[in-house]
Amino acid sequence: MTRPDGVMVQEDRRGRVAICPYGLALSVGGDRDQVHFAIRGDETLRPIHAWLRANSDRSVQVVAEGEAEVFVNGTRITGPVSVPLGGKIRLGPRRTLTNIGVLDSGGAKRSFGLLAIPIRIQDYVFLRLVGRGSSGLVYEAYDEANDRRCAIKLLTAGGRASDGVQDRFRREVDLQSRLGDYPGIVTMWALDTVPGTGELFAIMEFVEGKTLRDTFKAGLERVAGVRLLARVGRAVHYGHERGLLHRDLKPANVMVTESGAVRLTDFGLCKALEEDDGMTATGIMLGTPSYMSPEQVEDAKRVGTPTDIYALGAMLYVHLCGRLPFLGKGVSEVLDAVVSGTKPAPLSVDPTIPVELSDLVVESLSLDPAARPKTALEFSERIERWVKAAVPPEQVSLSAPSTAPTQTAVRPVSDNRPPLTR
pLDDT in tens, 217-258: 998 999 999 999 999 999 999 989 988 888 889 999 899 998
Distance of alpha carbon 347 from alpha carbon 385, whole angstroms: 20
Same fold, 112-204 and 209-390: no
Distance of alpha carbon 223 from alpha carbon 193, whole angstroms: 44
Per residue in 26-41, pLDDT (tens digit) is: 999 999 899 999 988 8
Task: Give residue 270's pLDDT band: very low, low, confident or very high (50, 70, 90).
Answer: low
User: Comparing C-alpha atoms, which of 183, 202, 303, 308 is closest to residue 246?
Assistant: 308
State the average pLDDT over residues 162-167: 77
Task: Give residue 1's pLDDT band: very low, low, confident or very high (50, 70, 90).
Answer: very low
Report pLDDT for 116. Answer: 57
Report pLDDT for 245. Answer: 86
Residues 6+ apart with CB under 8 A from 151: 130, 138, 139, 140, 141, 186, 203, 204, 205, 206, 207
State the average pLDDT over residues 260-284: 58
Q: Has residue 163 got a pLDDT over 80?
A: no
Catalytic residue among 5, 143, 248, 266: 248
**Amino acid identity, position 341:** G
Per residue in 308-340, pLDDT (tens digit) is: 999 999 999 999 999 999 888 888 888 888 888
* Pick among 2.30.30.40, 3.30.70.890, 3.30.420.10, 2.60.200.20: CATH of 6-103: 2.60.200.20
State the average pLDDT over residues 66-75: 93
Least reliable range by pLDDT among 154-158, 190-194, 300-304: 154-158
Report pLDDT for 308. Answer: 94
Least reliable range by pLDDT among 198-212, 233-247, 402-416: 402-416
CATH no. for 209-390: 1.10.510.10
Report pLDDT for 368. Answer: 94
Percentage of the chain beyond pLDDT 70 is 82
Task: Give residue 118's pLDDT band: very low, low, confident or very high (50, 70, 90).
Answer: low
Q: Where do the structural domains in the chain lie, given as residue ranges?
A: 6-103, 112-204, 209-390
State the average pLDDT over residues 164-188: 82
Report pLDDT for 134. Answer: 60
Average pLDDT, the chain: 82
Report pLDDT for 107. Answer: 66
Percentage of the chain beyond pLDDT 90 is 43
Task: Give residue 404's pLDDT band: very low, low, confident or very high (50, 70, 90).
Answer: very low
CA 108 to chain centroid, in Å, comes to 28
Query: For helices 376-390 and 355-364, what crossing angle results, to 10°?
Result: 170
User: Comparing C-alpha atoms, which of 202, 217, 303 is closest to residue 256?
Assistant: 217
Report pLDDT for 161. Answer: 64
Q: Has residue 274 got a pLDDT over 80?
A: no
118-132, 237-251, 395-409 — which one is most confidently predicted on average? 237-251
Give the CATH superfamily of 112-204: Phosphorylase Kinase; domain 1 (3.30.200.20)
User: Comparing C-alpha atoms, which of 208, 213, 163, 170 is closest to residue 188?
Assistant: 170
Residue 268 CB burial class (10 angstroms; 0-12, 13-18, ≥19): buried
CA distances from 11 to 33, 38, 96, 223 (A): 19, 10, 6, 34
Report pLDDT for 268. Answer: 52
Phi and psi (nearest 5°) for 175?
Answer: -65, -45
Active site residue 248: yes
State the average pLDDT over residues 267-293: 55
User: Comparing C-alpha atoms, which of 278, 277, 280, 284 is closest to residue 299?
Assistant: 284
Report pLDDT for 408. Answer: 33
Q: Has residue 288 got a pLDDT over 90?
A: no
Q: Has residue 359 got a pLDDT over 70?
A: yes
Q: Structure pTM?
A: 0.73
